Structure 1
Amino acid sequence: MPRFLTSLSVICALYTVLPLPILAATHDIETITVQFTNQRQPRVFDAKIEPVKAATVSAQTSGRIINIYYDVNDLVPQGAALLEITNKEQGASLAGAEAELAKAQAVNSEAQAQYNRYKSLFPKGAISKGAMDEATAKAKSAKQAVSAARALLVKAKESLNYTIVSAPFSGRVTKRFVEQGETISYGQALFSGYDPKTLRAVFQIPQQDVTHVRQLNEVRIQLADGRVITANNIELFNFADPQTHSHAVRVNFTPTNDSDNLVGQWAKVMFEQPTQSSLFVPMSAIHQVGDLTSVYRKNGDRFVLNQVRLGFIDEIAQQVEVLSGLMPSDEVVINAAQYLINKPATKVKE
């Protein structure tokens, strides 16, 4: 079939289904006059939920893993043992450090006693100045040796304590990098986790919104399950991303007891935009057929189907913004569906 005949068939079909203009009795049809109104429209951004406190625990000594007490997704209390490493080498170092401290203390005790004896005899001339100086130096050296031995003992004790790796804070385990029986070395990553008590929503805003976001006192975070959390801890980055030229924003919030599964999820961050004058009509006035969005506009004693382009939808007030297709003082049918049901029958032109 030629293209112009196909187009003519489509036009005839549309004319049959939606004859324009439509005659109707206007006295019993409820209408509304469109006027500019001031509406506060929310800005909505996609945000990712992240933990505020997260860490990777690394080995602070070397050895072979003999026990692992927690796994991925486990909730770990602060100070709980995550894994245990062989401690024979560290135990031997501790015993050696204790012996060195005892030896240093004994030498120091003898040196201090000799120094005190020489100190009492030196004024009487029974001790030479050289012997007195030697006793003084030995006393100071022995005292410092005790301090050094104590430091080595503390180091040995800490090294022994490092054979039991503990959780630095209460949190949930996200990764485990080792298996039981493996030999680990100093600095090797062992566990990763986060604290679920404090989270944040991270998102990007364009440059034109920076000034407005700086003035915000609070934002609303809509979670994936529909819950909305109000947060007032807003942190706007002072620098822009060099590639996207957008600014990052962090919004810290405290989740509820049943919100321990939010990390990594997407959420909606909403805040109010400055007041703007716009044309709004009730959502019931919109007539949608396929890609055609329209309203019934009064034209004299008739109602004509008028195509419109929509913008912001206010679900709470059940209103929708009309970006184009209507002018102030236009009168439209409030309930398009009811009008279609009750409108008088129109003869189809043959």
Structure 2
Amino acid sequence: MRTIGVFQASRWLLPLAAVALLAACGGAKQAAAPLPPPPLATLTVQPQQARREQSWDGVVEAVHQATMSAQTSGRVVELPFDVNDYVPAGAVIVRFTDVEQQSAQRRAQAALAAAQATYDEAQASYQRTAEIYARKLIAKAQLDQALARRDAARAALQSAQAALRESGQQLDYTVVRAPYSGIVTKRYVQVGEAVQPGQPLIAGVSLEELRVNVQVPQSAVDAIRRFHAADVLLDASGARRVPAAKVTVFPYADPDTHTFSVRLDLPQQETGLYPGMTVKTAFAVGEARRLLLPASALVQRSEVSGVYVIGADNGVSLRQVRLGHRFGEQVEILAGLAAGEKVAADPDAAALYLAKLHAAEAGR
């Protein structure tokens, strides 16, 4: 019986010893030192001053767009460019027949030569009369008549000179040149067609200078005037945006819609925008402190966004975050992070670090 008692006691003591050993191991695990810092570049999340924005749709339009009209009569003999063709500045876009204009210029030249001869004769006659009058050989009335003929001849000469300039201008009008480089959008005439002054010929736009016209509600106009800053968003996410070179707020509202027109001048750079397109615009209407992170620090898994967070024990974990507006290369963090936390600046490096760490633990 005594031997049985010892055996029974050992049956109870062994589990108790095992439990004590597990508890000791657990305590040792809890008391273990933090992991060494991971070899990762980190960013500390801190609130930053950023502007509050409101967005509206706008329409892209060309700063330089015009319809060229005829300034003289004639028949179209040359139309070098068609719709959608690129036209360099100064290129001939329409040429007319110039028979009438050439004839008018020759008549004006002949009239000018006759007027010049008449003036020269009147001037010489006046000088001779003045010399004779100085010797008291003729009456004052004869000198006055010579002076009047000289002045009339001078007026006729000036009129002939003006007529020659006008005929030259009319001749120049038979060749229509592009005032700036751009794209032909419409042709109103064809080769062989007779045109009259004022008739539309060809229309075009320049793609070098663009602007966006936006209709904004009157409740936002005061803030827009105060901050005078806006961006044009080039994609749906707002990651690509172009700051407006100039913001012009019209001083009056539309009486039907009660909205104000705001014009945003775009800088002269390649934006991928064309006249007639609709784009999103973001106007500064205030300021606020926001948690901002570079977009490069984010991890995108389908529709879920996250970041690799470096914990107080130097552990690395993937945490989901909720995003707000984009401000250039930075993204607003609405939820999931607190000020002072650290995140991995390179999510790919953080993912590789975790993969190596798990592989090492699996090997043990």
Which category describes the TM-score, using the shorter chain as reference length?
0.5 to 0.7
- Could you say which residue in structure 2 is the equivalent of 1:339? none
Give 1:61-100 correspondences, 5 Å limit.
61-100=72-111
- Could you say which residue in structure 1 is the equivalent of 2:264? 251
Within 2, Cα distance between the matches of 1:61 and 1:116?
43
Within 1, Cα distance between the matches of 2:92 and 2:179?
10
Give 1:233-312 correspondences, 5 Å limit.
233-257=246-270, 259=272, 262-274=274-286
- Deviation of 1:182 after TM superposition, in Å, equals 0.5
Match of 1:134 among 127, 145, 156: 145
The one-character-per-residue Cα deviations of 1:205-254 (angstroms, maximum 9, x if unpaired) are 11211111012242111125874211241011121111111111101012
CA spacing shift, 1:174–1:129, aligned 2, 3 Å: same
CA contact (8 A) 1:65 1:85 kept: yes
CA contact (8 A) 1:49 1:199 kept: yes
The one-character-per-residue Cα deviations of 1:169-217 (angstroms, maximum 9, x if unpaired) are 2222212111111000001111112222211111111121111101224
Do residues 105 (structure 1) and 120 (structure 2) align?
Answer: no
CA contact (8 A) 1:313 1:320 kept: no
Within 1, Cα distance between the matches of 2:138 and 2:70?
56
CA contact (8 A) 2:55 2:281 kept: yes
Unmatched 5+ residue regions in structure 2?
Answer: 1-48, 291-298, 304-321, 337-364
AA aligned opposite 1:197: E
CA spacing shift, 1:58–1:203, aligned 2, 3 Å: same
Within 1, Cα distance between the matches of 2:229 and 2:324?
22
CA spacing shift, 1:207–1:116, aligned 2, 3 Å: same
Give 1:157-168 correspondences, 5 Å limit.
157-168=168-179
CA contact (8 A) 1:50 1:199 kept: yes
* Structure 1 SS opposite 2:332: coil
- Deviation of 1:40 after TM superposition, in Å, equals 5.6
Rg: which structure is higher? 2
- Could you say which residue in structure 2 is the equivalent of 1:170? 181
Match of 2:213 among 184, 198, 202: 202
Match of 2:334 among 284, 308, 319: 319
Give 1:22-61 correspondences, 5 Å limit.
41-61=52-72
Within 1, Cα distance between the matches of 2:77 and 2:50?
65
* Structure 2 SS opposite 1:268: strand
CA contact (8 A) 1:59 1:184 kept: yes
* Structure 2 SS opposite 1:71: coil
Within 2, Cα distance between the matches of 1:138 and 1:125?
21
- Deviation of 1:312 after TM superposition, in Å, equals 9.2
CA spacing shift, 1:196–1:123, aligned 2, 3 Å: same
Within 2, Cα distance between the matches of 1:320 and 1:272?
23
**TM-score computed with the length of structure 2 as normaliser:** 0.64
- Between Structure 1 and Structure 2, the one with more helix by share is 2
CA spacing shift, 1:109–1:41, aligned 2, 3 Å: closer
Provide runs of 4+ in structure 1 moved above 6 Å: none
AA aligned opposite 1:265: M
Within 2, Cα distance between the matches of 1:199 and 1:205?
19
- Deviation of 1:276 after TM superposition, in Å, equals 7.1
Within 2, Cα distance between the matches of 1:272 and 1:88?
60
The one-character-per-residue Cα deviations of 1:124-151 (angstroms, maximum 9, x if unpaired) are 2322322221111111111111111000
CA spacing shift, 1:131–1:95, aligned 2, 3 Å: same
CA spacing shift, 1:313–1:120, aligned 2, 3 Å: same
CA contact (8 A) 1:224 1:265 kept: no
CA contact (8 A) 2:101 2:171 kept: yes
Please report the RMSD computed on the Cα atoms of aligned residues, expressed in angstroms.
2.9
Unmatched 5+ residue regions in structure 1?
Answer: 1-37, 279-283, 289-310, 322-350
What percent identity do the matched residue pairs reach?
A: 34
Match of 1:124 among 121, 135, 149: 135
AA aligned opposite 2:134: P
AA aligned opposite 1:79: G
AA aligned opposite 1:240: A
